[in-house]
Amino acid sequence: MKKGICATLAAAMLAAGPALAQDAVFGSEPDVAYAAQLWNAMQDRGLVGDGAIMAFPYAGTDPHGMMLETFYLTAEIEDHLGALVVKRNYGPAGVTVDEVLGDPAGHLGAVTVMFQREPGYDDDTGNWFYAKYLPDGTLDRSPNDMALAGLVGKGADAGCIACHQGAGPDYLFTTDAKLPGMQ
Protein backbone atom coordinates (compact mmCIF):
# COMPACT_ATOMS: atom_id res chain seq x y z
CA MET A 1 0.00 0.00 0.00
CA LYS A 2 2.80 2.41 0.87
CA LYS A 3 4.41 1.91 -2.55
CA GLY A 4 1.18 2.91 -4.33
CA ILE A 5 1.02 6.11 -2.34
CA CYS A 6 4.61 6.93 -3.27
CA ALA A 7 3.95 6.37 -6.97
CA THR A 8 0.91 8.64 -6.83
CA LEU A 9 2.89 11.37 -5.09
CA ALA A 10 5.72 11.14 -7.59
CA ALA A 11 3.28 11.51 -10.48
CA ALA A 12 1.75 14.54 -8.79
CA MET A 13 5.21 16.09 -8.33
CA LEU A 14 6.01 15.71 -12.01
CA ALA A 15 2.66 17.17 -13.00
CA ALA A 16 2.91 20.07 -10.55
CA GLY A 17 6.37 21.15 -11.70
CA PRO A 18 6.93 24.85 -11.06
CA ALA A 19 4.20 25.16 -8.44
CA LEU A 20 6.30 23.08 -6.06
CA ALA A 21 9.42 25.15 -6.62
CA GLN A 22 8.10 28.36 -5.07
CA ASP A 23 9.03 27.33 -1.55
CA ALA A 24 11.55 24.62 -2.42
CA VAL A 25 14.14 23.89 0.20
CA PHE A 26 16.36 21.78 -2.03
CA GLY A 27 18.71 22.11 -4.96
CA SER A 28 20.84 24.92 -3.53
CA GLU A 29 24.57 25.22 -4.18
CA PRO A 30 25.37 23.73 -0.75
CA ASP A 31 22.98 20.81 -1.49
CA VAL A 32 24.68 20.19 -4.83
CA ALA A 33 28.13 20.32 -3.22
CA TYR A 34 27.07 17.91 -0.47
CA ALA A 35 25.58 15.56 -3.08
CA ALA A 36 28.92 15.58 -4.92
CA GLN A 37 30.70 14.51 -1.72
CA LEU A 38 28.13 11.76 -1.25
CA TRP A 39 28.63 10.51 -4.83
CA ASN A 40 32.40 10.42 -4.26
CA ALA A 41 31.92 8.42 -1.05
CA MET A 42 29.69 5.94 -2.90
CA GLN A 43 32.23 5.70 -5.71
CA ASP A 44 35.01 4.99 -3.21
CA ARG A 45 32.89 2.15 -1.77
CA GLY A 46 32.20 0.62 -5.20
CA LEU A 47 28.49 1.42 -5.09
CA VAL A 48 28.36 3.55 -8.24
CA GLY A 49 30.32 3.96 -11.43
CA ASP A 50 32.18 1.47 -13.59
CA GLY A 51 32.65 -1.87 -11.91
CA ALA A 52 30.16 -1.19 -9.11
CA ILE A 53 29.36 -4.19 -6.97
CA MET A 54 26.12 -5.95 -7.85
CA ALA A 55 23.36 -7.41 -5.74
CA PHE A 56 20.47 -9.53 -6.92
CA PRO A 57 17.86 -7.17 -8.42
CA TYR A 58 14.26 -7.38 -7.28
CA ALA A 59 10.95 -6.15 -8.69
CA GLY A 60 10.35 -2.46 -8.08
CA THR A 61 7.73 0.14 -8.81
CA ASP A 62 7.42 3.82 -9.66
CA PRO A 63 8.94 6.21 -8.92
CA HIS A 64 12.15 4.21 -8.48
CA GLY A 65 12.20 1.66 -11.27
CA MET A 66 10.94 -1.69 -12.44
CA MET A 67 13.99 -3.50 -11.05
CA LEU A 68 15.93 -2.33 -8.01
CA GLU A 69 19.03 -3.04 -5.97
CA THR A 70 19.22 -1.58 -2.48
CA PHE A 71 22.29 -1.26 -0.27
CA TYR A 72 22.31 -0.30 3.42
CA LEU A 73 25.56 0.91 4.93
CA THR A 74 27.22 3.92 6.48
CA ALA A 75 29.23 6.75 4.97
CA GLU A 76 31.28 9.58 6.37
CA ILE A 77 30.69 13.03 4.94
CA GLU A 78 32.25 16.12 6.53
CA ASP A 79 33.26 14.19 9.68
CA HIS A 80 29.73 12.81 10.16
CA LEU A 81 29.10 9.07 10.01
CA GLY A 82 25.51 8.44 8.96
CA ALA A 83 23.20 5.75 7.65
CA LEU A 84 23.23 5.50 3.86
CA VAL A 85 20.57 3.86 1.70
CA VAL A 86 21.50 3.51 -1.97
CA LYS A 87 18.90 2.36 -4.46
CA ARG A 88 19.80 1.60 -8.07
CA ASN A 89 16.78 2.10 -10.30
CA TYR A 90 16.58 -0.03 -13.47
CA GLY A 91 14.16 -0.05 -16.38
CA PRO A 92 12.32 0.05 -18.68
CA ALA A 93 9.01 -1.57 -17.79
CA GLY A 94 9.25 -5.28 -18.44
CA VAL A 95 12.99 -5.52 -17.82
CA THR A 96 13.99 -8.85 -16.28
CA VAL A 97 16.49 -9.77 -13.60
CA ASP A 98 18.62 -11.54 -16.20
CA GLU A 99 18.65 -8.47 -18.45
CA VAL A 100 19.75 -6.24 -15.56
CA LEU A 101 22.44 -8.71 -14.45
CA GLY A 102 23.66 -9.07 -18.05
CA ASP A 103 23.84 -5.34 -18.78
CA PRO A 104 23.42 -3.26 -15.62
CA ALA A 105 24.80 -0.07 -17.16
CA GLY A 106 22.44 -0.38 -20.11
CA HIS A 107 19.39 -0.56 -17.84
CA LEU A 108 20.37 1.82 -15.04
CA GLY A 109 18.06 4.82 -15.04
CA ALA A 110 19.03 6.52 -11.79
CA VAL A 111 20.57 6.12 -8.38
CA THR A 112 18.43 7.41 -5.52
CA VAL A 113 19.97 7.99 -2.12
CA MET A 114 18.99 8.75 1.45
CA PHE A 115 21.76 9.79 3.83
CA GLN A 116 21.03 10.58 7.45
CA ARG A 117 22.91 13.75 8.26
CA GLU A 118 23.90 15.08 11.64
CA PRO A 119 21.26 16.03 14.24
CA GLY A 120 20.02 19.54 13.58
CA TYR A 121 20.24 19.29 9.78
CA ASP A 122 16.44 19.00 9.65
CA ASP A 123 15.08 17.22 12.72
CA ASP A 124 11.50 17.48 11.39
CA THR A 125 12.36 15.03 8.60
CA GLY A 126 14.67 12.69 10.51
CA ASN A 127 17.72 14.60 9.18
CA TRP A 128 17.57 12.68 5.88
CA PHE A 129 19.30 14.18 2.85
CA TYR A 130 17.90 12.95 -0.48
CA ALA A 131 19.54 12.90 -3.90
CA LYS A 132 18.67 11.49 -7.29
CA TYR A 133 21.62 10.96 -9.62
CA LEU A 134 21.74 10.03 -13.26
CA PRO A 135 23.99 7.04 -14.06
CA ASP A 136 26.99 9.32 -14.76
CA GLY A 137 26.78 10.92 -11.31
CA THR A 138 25.18 14.21 -12.33
CA LEU A 139 22.14 15.19 -10.34
CA ASP A 140 18.76 14.70 -11.94
CA ARG A 141 16.66 17.84 -12.18
CA SER A 142 13.03 18.68 -11.51
CA PRO A 143 10.76 19.84 -14.35
CA ASN A 144 11.58 23.43 -13.35
CA ASP A 145 15.35 22.71 -13.48
CA MET A 146 16.12 22.36 -9.76
CA ALA A 147 18.81 19.86 -8.72
CA LEU A 148 17.23 16.93 -6.89
CA ALA A 149 19.39 17.09 -3.78
CA GLY A 150 18.65 18.07 -0.20
CA LEU A 151 15.23 18.25 1.40
CA VAL A 152 13.41 17.21 -1.77
CA GLY A 153 9.66 17.45 -1.25
CA LYS A 154 9.73 19.09 2.19
CA GLY A 155 6.51 21.01 2.75
CA ALA A 156 5.18 19.85 -0.62
CA ASP A 157 2.44 17.47 -1.61
CA ALA A 158 4.88 15.32 -3.57
CA GLY A 159 8.56 14.41 -3.71
CA CYS A 160 10.95 12.31 -1.65
CA ILE A 161 10.03 13.60 1.80
CA ALA A 162 6.32 13.87 1.03
CA CYS A 163 6.37 10.20 0.07
CA HIS A 164 8.77 8.85 2.69
CA GLN A 165 6.99 10.49 5.62
CA GLY A 166 4.29 7.88 4.93
CA ALA A 167 6.80 5.19 5.97
CA GLY A 168 6.67 6.29 9.59
CA PRO A 169 9.12 8.04 11.88
CA ASP A 170 12.22 6.42 10.32
CA TYR A 171 11.25 7.43 6.74
CA LEU A 172 12.21 3.96 5.46
CA PHE A 173 9.79 1.75 3.55
CA THR A 174 12.04 -1.28 3.19
CA THR A 175 12.93 -2.05 6.79
CA ASP A 176 12.06 -1.25 10.37
CA ALA A 177 15.60 -2.14 11.49
CA LYS A 178 17.75 0.52 13.05
CA LEU A 179 20.48 0.78 10.44
CA PRO A 180 24.13 1.30 11.36
CA GLY A 181 24.73 5.03 11.67
CA MET A 182 21.06 5.87 12.31
CA GLN A 183 20.21 8.37 15.01
pLDDT in tens, the chain (183 residues): 344 444 444 444 444 443 344 455 899 999 999 999 999 999 999 999 988 999 999 999 888 989 999 999 999 999 999 999 999 999 999 999 999 999 999 999 999 999 999 999 999 999 999 999 999 999 999 998 999 999 999 988 888 988 899 888 899 988 888 888 888
182 within domain boundaries: no
CA angle, 90 then 135 then 48, to 5°: 95
Q: What is the pTM of this model?
A: 0.85
132 within domain boundaries: yes
172 within domain boundaries: no
State the SS3 of 119-176. CCCCHHHCCEEEEEECCCCCECECCCCCECEECCCCCCCCCHHHHHHHHCCCCCCCCC
Rounded to an integer, what distance in angstroms lies between the CA atom of residue 111 and that of residue 39?
10
139 within domain boundaries: yes
95 within domain boundaries: yes
pLDDT of residue 166: 86
Query: What's the domain range around 109?
Result: 2-167
Torsion of CA 124, 32, 100, 153, to 10 degrees: 30
10 within domain boundaries: yes
Number of domains composing the chain: 1
pLDDT of residue 73: 94
| DSSP state letter for 6 | H
pLDDT of residue 161: 87
